Structure 1
Amino acid sequence: MAFTAESLPKAIQLSVSSVFLLAGIGAMMNVLPGRLVRCIDRARTLKESSERLSEAESIEYGLLKKRMQLVTSSIELLASSTLAIATVVAMIFLSVILKLNLSQVVAPLFVAAMLMLMVSTINFLREIRLASRQLKDSLSIPVQSVQ
């Protein structure tokens, strides 16, 4: 079970796609907190503007809460996926260096990471749809003139 000079390049070669995947997840992780902060700020503004929300404000507040849940869930799934992928990369290195067959652990872990990434992306798309609906609804409300 000796480590050879050929082992390291092989391990790197096997883990490159996973590392690129981590970069893509990082890009998504950069977008989501900004969306969450905007929802939180708007919800705070609604709550602070009056003690009792109008019907339209209550609907908007409900949509904001749902959007916050979707973004938070998406962030949690991305973080979990990142941990799973990092574990896959570590196991690939261990497998090559120690000459162990860890494929029965690596394959399901990678599939789990992909499933988490897919669900996270679905949540992200659902949040975008809600935000678009919210914008559309706010633009269709007639603006009352101030006299």
Structure 2
Amino acid sequence: MYSLPAISNIAQTIQLAIAPVFLLAGVGAFLNVLTGRLSRVVDRARWLEERHAVAEGEERRRLVTELRRLDRRMTLSSISIWLCVACAIAVCVLVALLFITQLVNLPYRVAVAASFVIAMALLIAGLIAFLLEIRIARKSFRIREELLIQDYEEAARPNGAPHI
């Protein structure tokens, strides 16, 4: 006859499942950040595409360069999103395995451990893709030094001497 696990065993399983659920919440928040960044990149690319149609010469070349960078950023963001979604799925599998192994009393410890390792590997890969996307974003936007100086004359005065 099949017997159900004791309440204490189920409670212990729920306690074990809490950590992966917190991980799942963190991955969900990270996915929100990633989709927000991707949305902003797409909006910028659409705006540049409209300007590209009427641009000529040097302006057109600058727009093409920026569109190429945005395309690369969209690719990296999409890869990062895909990897983090796969991580979330692996965490869900992990939680399900924790409960299945407890309820059916099966020795799937290796499967549980493998699910956790896979989830972490996917999260690491997603974070690396995100880091690469941020690096491209940072390289593509630099504020020109002359815009950071309030007044060229003020910058040339020694020790901030007042202007007379």
Q: Judge same fold: TM > 0.5, yes or no.
A: yes
In 2, Cα distance between the equivalents of 1:142 and 1:38? 27
In 1, Cα distance between the equivalents of 2:26 and 2:134? 19
Identity of aligned residues (%): 36
Aligned to 1:2: 3
Structure 1 residues 37, 25: CA separation in 2 closer, same or farther (over 3 Å shift)? same
In the alignment of these two chains, the number of paired residues is 141
In 1, Cα distance between the equivalents of 2:146 and 2:74? 27
Aligned to 1:128: 134
Which runs of structure 2 are paired with 1:43-58 in the superposition (5 Å)?
A: 43-51=45-53, 54-58=60-64
Aligned to 1:79: 85
Detail structure 1 runs of 4+ shifted over 2 Å in the superposition.
50-53, 139-143
Which of the numbers 93, 100, 108 marks the counterpart of 2:99? 93
- Structure 1 residue 11: deviation in Å? 0.7
SS of residue in 2 equivalent to 1:101: coil
In 2, Cα distance between the equivalents of 1:89 and 1:43? 39
Unaligned runs of 5+ in 1: none
Aligned to 1:12: 14
- Structure 1 residue 129: deviation in Å? 1.2
- TM norm structure 2: 0.80
In 2, Cα distance between the equivalents of 1:48 and 1:142? 28
Q: Contact 2:52–2:63 (CA<8 Å) still a contact in 1?
A: no
Q: Contact 2:80–2:127 (CA<8 Å) still a contact in 1?
A: yes
Higher relative contact order (CA 8 A, sep 6+): 1
In 1, Cα distance between the equivalents of 2:38 and 2:119? 23
Q: Aligned AA for 1:7?
A: N
- Structure 1 residue 140: deviation in Å? 3.2
Q: Aligned AA for 1:140?
A: R
After superposition, the CA RMSD in angstroms is: 1.8
Unaligned runs of 5+ in 2: 148-164
SS of residue in 1 equivalent to 2:7: coil
Q: Aligned AA for 2:144?
A: S
From the CA coordinates, give the structure whose radius of gyration is larger: 2
